[in-house]
A and B are shown apart, each in its own frame.
Chain A
Amino acid sequence: MPIAEGFSLDLTTIWAFLIAFAVLVYVILDGFDLGLGMLFAVERRKGDRDVIMNSVAPVWDGNETWLVLGGGGLLAAFPLAYALILPALYAPIIAMLLALIFRGVAFEFRWRSERRRWAWDAAFIGGSAVASLSQGIALGALLQGIEVDKAARAYSGGWWDWATPFSLTVGIGVMVGYMLLGATWLVAKTSGELQERMRVRAWPLGIVTLVFIAAVSLWTPFLQDGYYARWFAGWHILLAIGVGGAVAIIAALMFRSLMVHRHEYRPFVLALALFTLCFVGLGVSMFPYIVPTEVTIYEAAAPARSQIFLLVGASVLLPTILAYTAYAYWVFRGKIDPEKGYH
């Protein structure tokens, strides 16, 4: 199964890329702020927690919107995939939605009550952890494949099919990876002791993330024959070596940047690059399937008219959104000053 086979830049492929892009942006943006939520668990001082939360409070809402775009875009461009995947991943998705409720309101509620702040801090930690775990489990469950009754256009598996050692491994891996993103984000956004602690925390988080990347990468090809052929048959072995090498190089650069050069922003950028690379690897495994290895993007695609209707607007609105999102990050750039506040 060569990668280039059947590949052409048609409308459906463009939409597959756009949705993958939305999901990637979600993963790297909400990924780091979910990671911050989990870091609350080890950063117990109130002042530090305030700083951590404030580093993302003006932008978290925009970060989370990419999740809605991923879901909404999937419904618009690949309605069949939406209808197959969501019931198959019912439990992890419901768990994620409920967790995001706790996490989202914690941004506002924890400032409203001194007495009950501990409860909203716990909601922030627990919500972030469960949301991250659920996302990883959902990814793992999708990768390992879901049962589909193609004639009935419906999910035909059981309600616990998603719960496997593989999906749980991916789930924990995503939690650790998000915490790495969060820690490197805080290296960029804070100073003093907190920044120093984050540098130290980023080390083990980075190493454990790499272990999980390696484990999932080696495990995936054995889940389904298609994956194996794609990575290890013939010349494809070079691709596997190339991607693996790139991960190793980026990781090495990240650790050096973190501890040897003591850069501030670069570790975060490199951690993002690491995530992006994993995401590309995932895409290589799956393409052109959207429900591996049952339904391709072409089988799930909405009619061309639907895809064009949305593409017209998306081609104008997406660049605009990226521009004003970048502007919002620019407005709230710089270190969080715990003494003074920054607005």
Chain B
Amino acid sequence: MLGSFDAVLLARIQFAFTVSFHFLFPAFTIGLASYLAVLNGLWLWTREHKYLDLFRYWVKIFALAFAMGVVSGIVMSYQFGTNWSVFSDKAGPVIGGPMAYEVLSAFFLEAGFLGIMLFGRDKVGEKLHMAACAAVAFGTFFSAFWILSVNSWMHTPAGFSIDASTGQFMPEDFWQIVFNPSFPYRLMHTVTAAYLTTAFIIGGVGAYHLLRHRRRNEEASPATRTMFSMAMWMAAIVAPVQIFLGDLHGINTLEHQPAKIMAMEGHYESHPDGAPLYLFGIPNEKTQTLDYAVGIPKLSSLILKHDLNAPLAGLDTVPDADQPPVFIVFWSFRIMVALGFAMLGIGMWSLLARWRGRLYEAPWLHRAALAMGPSGLIAVLAGWVTTEVGRQPFTVYGLLRTVDSAAPLAAPAVGASLVAFIVIYFSVFGAGTYYIMRLMAREPKMQEARLKDSIDGPTRTAGIASAPHEDAPGADTTKKED
């Protein structure tokens, strides 16, 4: 039995590792695809060259991030079968449909029009090129729609019956399956998170270049200013919306997955007349207490039930075997919320600077925005950890346990593949991240080069050309390889 447990644990680590890595790319590209479509639209509408410059600048980064998202996503689509085959057999009749719809309505749309978006501006005309940009942006959204529907169903299953002979979940009502109780909240919260993630990355890059120009006493290009300004608008408008959506999502979770909320809030004990909001504490699973707790009385009840004295049940009402790991959930939730409020702070700060006419001459704001550049990615990961670990020990909440979902694999097989994934992900995606950072480190130019123009080797026709040389300037390596 110990052996099979080990295999399950390894499979869980493998899934958590591969899905966390994977989701970093869509979290960035969902927002970036929309941003590119908007930039392209603004260019067609205003004919101000800075928009085309920005499009050409960010599309190179998009191409890299998108490729990494695609290849790490293919892994996810097969991992259900390789590592979680029992889950696939049982839940396949319900979730297989929505998952296949993701491929049909999203992946193909993205993949089919990506080539035209990247390389087709002169081949298909501006209108069709714009349509291709929009198709890619919609594709990323549809993809989020379907995959979050499936994920939400696993949290709040609905619209099914269970076949007694095979143990399979049988669909009864696909409307209820797709639009299950937590889906609308999860979709909004996640898509908004993706937009914020992108806004802070773009804002961080903009801030970096504004700071660099300031140090050199140069004027920043219009493209750089616009990039920073648009990102800060996004932060100012979307961060408060996101906090509001997060609150709604939390209330929905309390209704359907109370144990997860108890873990998030650190409520081991029940609070019959108003629960405190714990700001700090060390969850102790042995004693079932929150050690060193620092809390604000009654605030948790106010947030979750909008009533200071509302009673809140604690984990003492949940059997030990059904409790999620509190420590991880408690702290990942706090990281996410703290970053969310920090984003709100940056957004408000930028409004203030804008109002005083100093948006581009506010070095401390720029430093803060630069530091917050990766905050969206971290918050998104922390949020996923909160919701996924908070769902344990179930894969289908309340119905199918994680230990009963795994494939009948031997631990060495899972362990070996896990090591391979870790080594390859860090090296390959590490290299990709390095290339993205190199592109970001160079400012958007006036008359930004197209994909094909800026490399002096043979013309890049179809792939993405135009990275500048990443290596030592002046090194002519094109001949060496002949």
Contacts and interface: CB of A to CB of B under 8 A. Distances in A.
A225 interface: no
A341 B407 contact: no
A84 interface: yes
B399 interface: no
A59 B72 CA distance: 18
Contacts of B114: 58, 61-62
B92 A62 contact: no
Contacts of A47: 458, 482
A102 B477 contact: no
Given A65-B111, A76-B99, A83-B89, A54 B122 contact: no
B470 A79 contact: no
B222 interface: no
Contacts of A54: 460-463
Contacts of B46: none
Contacts, number: 299
B413 A111 contact: no
B78 interface: yes
Contacts of A321: 104, 108, 112
Given A90-B82, A101-B72, A111 B103 contact: no
Contact of B463 (A57, A65, A85, A114): A57
B134 to A, nearest CB: 13
Interface residues of A, number: 86
A218 B435 CA distance: 50
Interface stretch (B60-68, B190-198, B309-317, B441-449): B60-68
Nearest to B468: A112
Contacts of A69: 100, 103-104, 107-108
Contacts of B96: 72, 75-77, 79, 302, 306, 310
B202 interface: no
A100 to B, nearest CB: 6
A181 interface: no
Interface stretch (B32-40, B324-332, B360-368, B416-424): B416-424
B463 A53 contact: yes
Interface of B: 63-64, 67-68, 70-75, 77-78, 80-82, 85-86, 88-97, 99-105, 107-108, 110-116, 118-124, 166, 168, 170-172, 174, 407-410, 412-413, 417, 420-421, 424, 428, 431-432, 435, 438, 451-452, 455, 457-467, 469-472, 475, 477-478, 481-482
Consensus secondary structure, chain A interface: helix
23 contacts: A54-B462, A62-B108, A62-B112, A68-B74, A71-B77, A75-B92, A79-B88, A79-B90, A82-B81, A87-B85, A87-B408, A90-B407, A90-B417, A102-B424, A105-B428, A108-B435, A108-B464, A112-B435, A113-B470, A123-B428, A306-B92, A321-B112, A343-B119
Nearest to A310: B97
A298 interface: no
Given A112-B435, A313-B101, A324-B112, A76 B424 contact: no
Contacts of B428: 101-102, 105, 123
A274 to B, nearest CB: 26
A46 interface: yes
Contact of A83 (B86, B103, B116, B409): B86
B460 A111 contact: yes
B459 A101 contact: no
A112 B120 CA distance: 21
Nearest to B423: A98
B415 to A, nearest CB: 12
A83 B85 CA distance: 4
Given A75-B88, A343-B122, A86 B78 contact: yes
A56 B119 CA distance: 12
A58 B100 contact: no
Interface string A294-324: 0000000011011001100110011001001
B100 A72 contact: yes
Contact of B424 (A44, A73, A82, A98): A98
A72 B470 contact: no
B101 A310 contact: yes
A84 to B, nearest CB: 7
**Residue among B111, B435, B452, B465 with max Cβ neighbours from chain A (10 Å):** B111
What are the nearest 3 A-B pairs in CB distance? A79-B92, A58-B115, A76-B96
